[in-house]
Structure 1
Amino acid sequence: MIIDSLKNAPKYSSVHPLFAKAFEYIATTDLATMQPGTYEIQGDELKAIVSDKEGKSREESLEKFECHRKHIDIQVCISGVEEIGWKPIEKCDTDKGGYNDEKDVQFWDEKPDMYFNLTDNQFVILFPEDVHAPMIGVGEGNIKKMVIKVKIS
């Protein structure tokens, strides 16, 4: 897991071959005016999903305490304050029904080891070993965010 501000995003371009293109897309897009939906960036290798909705409680977020095998998530907070729960997969023992290959998701019946907040123009990179519970609301108002799904080759 990597947490940082968008101004430092170029430092991470060498971590994965598609990160440079993903961060270029973020830098050249007017995030504030983007409407919720899915945006193709580069075929099935890179796509952006924008949401703008009310945050969940910590308890609600644990219904989808998740990780992915085929994608890395770059999650960008556009506005609001988002809390995310995190736990390394090697400490997870109890899954909820196994891995769904079609949706590239596995849910866990676990509790996070830690929580952290993202605010405007901050991002987190979540790798397959990062089990996460996103969209926890902190304060009032909606959370607007973008998740870039980076396909692992």
Structure 2
Amino acid sequence: MIVGSMEHWASRRKFAHPVLRKAIDYLAKTDLGMLEVGKYPIWGGDMFALVMEIKTKGIADQPAEKHENFLDIHYLLQGKETIGWKMQDDNCKPCQSYNPEEDFALFAGLEEESLVKLKPGMFMVLFPEDIHRPGLTEAASSDVRKVVVKINRNLF
């Protein structure tokens, strides 16, 4: 898992893998405020952006997820979002088995889950071993506009 901010991207991009650079450069250079909710190709079916508008939920109402084939980059445009994170270990058992067509398994309770608060302009890179619970709120539900870039792990 990597957490960063577009405010620092120009000075830190040289340290990123070229595939991550391509994805985060897309986020930095695209006028995302003009895009409708939907899917936008970046590199065919191997890298694409999902523009979303969601309502945040409490931790008990939002299952955690894990992917096998795609990395996620969650980039917050508007609102406040907390994302739960835990590296997979032997104690993490899915409540819904892995679905290969949708590339996810779901998890309920996670011991020692870390909560990362994102503000607009921040991004979080999640690798296949990262179990994550996006769309969380710490107080009342709020409206969030975000982009999730999906990257096929075979690009690395």
TM over 0.5: yes
Structure 1's 93 and 28: CA in aligned 2 closer, same or farther, altered over 3 A?
Answer: closer
> Does 1:113 pair with 2:113?
yes
Cα distance between partner residues in 1 of 2:3 and 2:77: 15
Cα shift at 1:23: 1.6
Distance 2:29 2:92 in 1: 41
Q: Write the mapping of 1:3-152 to structure 2, written as runs, cut at 5 A.
A: 3-10=3-10, 11-12=12-13, 15-62=16-63, 65-90=64-89, 92-111=91-110, 113-138=113-138, 141-152=142-153
What is the SS of the residue equivalent to 1:18? helix
- Which segments of 5 or more consecutive residues in structure 2 lack a partner in the other structure? none
Partner SS state of residue 117, structure 2: strand
Tell me the distance in 2 between the aligned counterparts of 1:97 and 1:82. 24
> Cα offset for 1:14?
5.2
**Other structure's SS at 2:128 match:** coil
> What's the TM-score once normalised by structure 1's chain length?
0.88
Moved more, 121-130 or 7-16: 7-16
Asked if the contact 1:13–1:19 (Cα under 8 Å) also holds between the matched residues in 2, the reply is no
Letter in 1 for 2:82: E
Q: Percent identity?
A: 30
Say what the alpha-carbon RMSD is for the aligned residues.
1.9
8 Å contact from structure 1 (residues 13, 23) kept in 2: no
Number of residues of Structure 1 aligned to a counterpart in Structure 2: 151
| 8 Å CA contact retained: 2:57, 2:141 | no
- TM-score scaled by length of structure 2: 0.87
Q: Deviations over 1:28-47 (max 9, x none)?
A: 11122222111111101110
**1:127 aligned partner, one-letter code:** F
The residue identity in structure 2 corresponding to 1:48 is A
**1:76, distance to aligned residue in structure 2 (A):** 0.2
Query: Where in structure 1 are there 5+ consecutive unaligned residues?
Result: none
Q: Decide whether the 8 Å contact of 2:80 with 2:144 is kept in 1.
A: yes
In structure 2, relative to structure 1, the CA distance for the partners of 1:93 and 1:144 (3 Å cut) is same
